[in-house]
């Protein structure tokens, strides 16, 4: 049975290779009424601001490097107090802005080509 370890090694190598071929998930995802925002940088983000569909906003004072922010969509609201209703309103655009500790701006869009679609 000298061939068995090689077969197992080949299967493991193929499994690892297939996982590496999978496209990376975007840093913003929406599922079941909750938006997840991931800080995939090595810098803390400060004054994190979230704007959904150009009108509904929310945010957090900071998001740690490598951290994740879970935001229920129903808590977002307009400047006039209108709440976002995820049952009646689809999310078509998300913009996240922040600054790093040294003052550099951060901006993430979902979908990633949201600015191109608006033109």
Output the pLDDT for position 15.
Answer: 44
Sign of the C-alpha dihedral, residues 26, 46, 79, 32? positive
Question: Is residue 3 in a domain?
Answer: no
Residue 86 lies in a domain: yes
User: What six digits make up the tokens of 75?
Assistant: 């808590």
CATH number at residue 32: 2.60.40.2890
What does each of the 119 residues of the chain score in pLDDT, given as a tens digit?
555 544 444 444 444 455 556 668 899 999 999 999 999 999 999 999 999 999 999 999 999 999 999 999 999 999 999 999 999 999 999 999 999 999 999 999 999 876 665 55
Q: Residue 113 pairs with which residues in a beta bridge?
A: none
Range of the domain at 51: 26-118
Tally of domains in the chain: 1
Nearest CA-CA partner of 26 in 71, 89, 68, 59: 68
Q: How confident is the model at residue 114, as a pLDDT? A: 65
């Amino acid at each position: 049975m000298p061939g068995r370890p090689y077969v197992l090694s080949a299967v493991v190598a193929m499994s690892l290779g297939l996982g590496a071929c999978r496209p990376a998930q975007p840093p913003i995802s929406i599922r079941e009424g909750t938006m997840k925002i991931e800080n995939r940088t090595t810098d803390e983000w400060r004054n994190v601001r979230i704007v959904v569909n150009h009108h509904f906003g929310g945010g957090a004072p900071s998001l740690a490097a490598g951290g994740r922010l879970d935001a229920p969509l129903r808590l977002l609201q307009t400047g006039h107090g209108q709440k976002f209703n995820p049952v009646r309103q689809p999310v078509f655009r998300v913009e996240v802005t922040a600054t790093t500790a040294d003052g550099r701006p951060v901006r993430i869009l979902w979908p990633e080509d949201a600015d191109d679609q608006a033109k």
